[in-house]
Amino acid sequence: MSFELLFDPLFRVPFATGLLLAGILPLIGMYLRLRNEWLAALAFAQMASAGALVAMVLDGPMLLGGVLAALLAALVKGLLARAGASAYALMMLLAWGGGVLLVANHPLAEQAGHALFDGQLYFTGEGHLLATALAALVVLPVLACLSRPLLLARFFPEFYRARGQSERPRLLLFDLLAGLVVALATVSLGVMAAFALVFVPPLLAWRFGRGWKSGLALTGLAGMGGYTLAFALSLGLDQPFGPVCALLLVMPIVMTGVKFDRM
């Protein structure tokens, strides 16, 4: 065990980057869950990982490749709203197949591929932190503005149309925000850790939140708490971050007995 590594300056940037993302991802997850679109997060993550690998093979920045691929996926999702889960499944299969073939056939892609799929947070650099901080400055206030339209679209779908307005631009903007955040998380935390942080904390909020705002607070705290513990344990026990994070997040769901019919 090497828990003293937690205080090594080398790991401060990866920790801060992940902590920011661990606070934002569950908020995105709340609204994806609200719209029954949580599977989209996995599609965005797979697309981001494939985009990052393609960028690396082409000698470009992985961060940019991942973000562009996920934004493209978000745009496709927004424009093909009726396709729903089928579109996400097709995107996932496409991205996964392409990504694994790249890893198998390109020597440069192998190490990066493992980092993306296993979740090796410790390769995260200052560029990731800067991009995440800038994204947080944009995403959080815009998400606060989109909250009411997203809730209205679920519970009063005619609200805007009866007033001669369309809710589509707001929904598309949310898709793009979700794609951006999930892409940043994928290239920083790995595919499954990013998905776990989108998917699991909202389950706790759904079960224990007393209202929407308390649910948002609860999900953000659960994400950041689970992430911090996972970071410490994976570093201290020299284990890959992604699986440790996913297992730690899932544990309270099992222990608190969140009902499966409410998932």
Name which of 185, 189, 229, 235 is nearest 8 in CA terms. 235
Binding of another protein at residue 207 (CB under 8 A)? yes
The set of residues, in sequence order, having a beta carbon less than 8 Å from that of 89 and lying 6+ positions away, is: 39, 43
Q: What sections of the chain are H helices per DSSP?
A: 12-34, 39-57, 62-79, 85-105, 107-118, 126-155, 159-162, 168-189, 191-208, 212-236, 241-256
Q: Report how far residue 217's alpha carbon sits from residue 213's, in angstroms, rounded to the nearest whole number.
A: 6
Q: Which of 2, 125, 126, 148 binds another protein (CB under 8 A)?
A: 148
Binding of another protein at residue 261 (CB under 8 A)? yes
Binding of another protein at residue 212 (CB under 8 A)? yes
Of residues 122 and 208, the one with the C-beta less far from another protein: 208
Q: Which of residues 79-138 bind another protein (CB under 8 A)?
A: none
Of residues 114 and 207, the one with the C-beta less far from another protein: 207
Number of chain positions touching another protein (CB under 8 A): 27
Q: Report how far residue 66's alpha carbon sits from residue 152's, in angstroms, rounded to the nearest whole number.
A: 31
Q: Which of 86, 137, 144, 154 binds another protein (CB under 8 A)?
A: 154
The set of residues, in sequence order, having a beta carbon less than 8 Å from that of 238 and lying 6+ positions away, is: 1, 2
Residue 205: both structure tokens together: 């909020």
Amino acid type, 145:
C
- Minimum distance between the CB of residue 154 and another protein, rounded to whole angstroms? 6
Piece of the chain touching another protein by CB under 8 A; list 60-68, 105-113, 125-133, 199-207: 199-207
Piece of the chain touching another protein by CB under 8 A; list 57-65, 187-195, 206-214, 226-234: 206-214
Of residues 168 and 213, the one with the C-beta less far from another protein: 213
- Report yes or no: 117 and 173 within 8 Å, Cβ to Cβ: no
Q: Which of 3, 138, 145, 156 binds another protein (CB under 8 A)?
A: 156
Piece of the chain touching another protein by CB under 8 A; list 88-96, 103-111, 145-153, 168-176: 145-153
Q: Please report, as ranges, the residues that interact with another protein according to CB under 8 A.
A: 34, 148, 151-152, 154-156, 158-159, 161-164, 205-215, 259, 261-262
